[in-house]
Copies of this chain bind each other. A is one copy, B any other.
């Protein structure tokens, strides 16, 4: 059993968010807890960052979710090949663009999370060194 605590929360005024960050221009804020502020100091405008978050609205995973038909596809696909929020460990991953950092609040573009989504981690957007 692995226990995690949110480091912050996603805030956005958007009521309807796009199905995926690859097709999102929605802006919002990553409101990180003040105690983690120093850890954000090298996040700069123009960067892309990886946000890991908790799909906190998702139902408990059950075997009927092992294959699912995504909304924009017409075929059933294995859960580990899609970005569905209904997965064994409900961790989401989005890559967003940093607009500005204000204290422990990161203004970003490319949100596909709902307002209030708990944030678990932020990582640099690293591309394969050999690319």
Contacts and interface: CB of A to CB of B under 8 A. Distances in A.
Interface residues of A, number: 50
Given A22-B128, A52-B91, A93-B50, A80 B40 contact: yes
Interface in A72-131: 77-83, 87-89, 91, 93, 95, 118, 120-124, 126-130
A7 to B, nearest CB: 5
22 contacts: A2-B4, A2-B5, A2-B6, A2-B56, A2-B118, A2-B120, A4-B89, A5-B89, A22-B127, A22-B128, A36-B88, A38-B66, A41-B67, A43-B78, A80-B122, A81-B124, A87-B121, A88-B121, A89-B120, A91-B120, A93-B123, A95-B128
